[in-house]
């Protein structure tokens, strides 16, 4: 175990006593056992707590101070939740100089490896891959959803205006004046059902450069092209049969 008791370790010992120093030594041992870093997760914290019999709050405080005093790299911990350092990596690679190849994750390496005589096989680590996936999802979440790229939003806006129009009695009466004998409600529903609520209607709307859809104007204009006439009324007049009166003699 190659741990130099320099100023950084003395700061931990001065602030947290032998328990603080011992925790850092235990973490170094664990890191070298794994390679050149360890993932620091909630699960790892619980396992580590059990092995050293120190409360979780104390462990977290000591690790935070170790990061503050640059015993562990702050950027790698913030981004990937791993504990490592330039010195840890150098010592690990120096110990590996007789190996044929060493697997390293490029995103984690901060040591100058040009001076190390070892063949490196660069790999992708689960954490870095997960981080990239999360960044990708964040970029995707920045895409603005509008009626142009979302068919469901397009039809929702259409159905809202359709419902408003066919529920407006004053509007229906006014349109009946312009379109005698036409069933205004059925004409609007026909236009929506047969065309505007279909992918073909959506494609047609997307040809325009307008940002917002004026469904009210669209559906009013659609009445002429989708007329549904009211059933014809029975215009036959009822014939009244009169009982003939017999004259009295």
pLDDT for 125 equals 66
Residue with structure tokens 């066919």?
Answer: 166
pLDDT for 222 equals 93
Q: Assign 120 to helix, strand or coil.
A: strand
Q: Cα(119)–Cα(103) distance, rounded to whole angstroms?
A: 9
Q: Cα(181)–Cα(186) distance, rounded to whole angstroms?
A: 12
What string of DSSP letters covers 153-209?
HHHHHHHHHHHHHHT-HHHHHHHHHHSTTB-HHHHHHHHIIIIITSHHHHHHHHTS-
Residue with structure tokens 């690790």?
Answer: 63
User: At 83, which helix (H) or strand (E)?
Assistant: strand 82-83
What are the φ/ψ torsions at residue 229 (nearest 5 degrees)?
-80, 150
Burial of 81 (0-12, 13-18, 19+ CB in 10 A): middle
Whole-structure pTM value: 0.50
Residue with structure tokens 């505007």?
Answer: 196
Pair of tokens at residue 86: 């330039």
pLDDT for 139 equals 52
Q: Cα(221)–Cα(178) distance, rounded to whole angstroms?
A: 12
Low-confidence ranges of the chain (pLDDT < 50): 1-5, 128-129, 140-142, 235-239, 241-242, 249
Residue 187 C-beta-side C-alpha neighbours within 13 Å: 23
- Euclidean distance between the first and the last CA atom of the chain, given in angstroms as a whole number: 146
Give 17-53 pLDDT, tens digit per residue: 989 989 999 999 999 999 999 999 999 999 999 999 8
Contact 74, 64 (CB under 8 A): no
The total of other beta-carbon atoms located within 10 Å of residue 229's CB is 12
Q: How many residues does the chain have?
A: 249
Give 107-134 pLDDT, tens digit per residue: 999 998 887 777 888 887 655 445 555 5
């Amino acid at each position: 175990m190659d741990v130099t008791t320099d100023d950084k370790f003395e700061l931990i010992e001065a602030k947290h006593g032998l328990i603080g120093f011992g925790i850092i030594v235990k973490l170094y041992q664990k890191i070298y056992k794994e390679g050149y870093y360890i993932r620091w997760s909630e699960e790892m914290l619980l396992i580590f707590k059990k092995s050293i019999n120190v409360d979780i709050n104390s462990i977290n405080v000591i690790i935070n101070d170790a990061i503050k005093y640059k015993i562990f790299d702050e950027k790698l911990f913030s981004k990937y939740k791993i504990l490592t350092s330039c010195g840890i990596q150098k010592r690990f690679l120096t110990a590996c100089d007789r190996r044929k190849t060493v697997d390293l994750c490029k995103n984690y390496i901060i040591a100058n490896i040009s001076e190390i005589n070892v063949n490196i096989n660069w790999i992708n680590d689960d954490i870095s891959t997960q981080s990239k996936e999360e960044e990708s999802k964040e970029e995707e979440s920045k895409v603005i959803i509008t009626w142009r790229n979302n068919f469901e939003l397009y039809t929702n806006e259409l159905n809202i205006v359709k419902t408003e129009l066919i529920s407006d009695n004053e509007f229906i009466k006014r349109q009946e004046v312009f379109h005698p004998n036409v069933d205004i409600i059925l004409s609007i529903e026909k236009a929506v059902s047969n065309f505007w609520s279909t992918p073909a209607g959506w494609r047609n709307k997307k040809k325009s450069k307008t940002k917002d859809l004026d469904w009210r104007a669209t559906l009013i204009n659609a009445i002429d092209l989708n007329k549904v006439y009211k059933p014809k009324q029975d215009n036959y007049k009822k014939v009244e049969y009169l009982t003939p009166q017999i004259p009295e003699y």
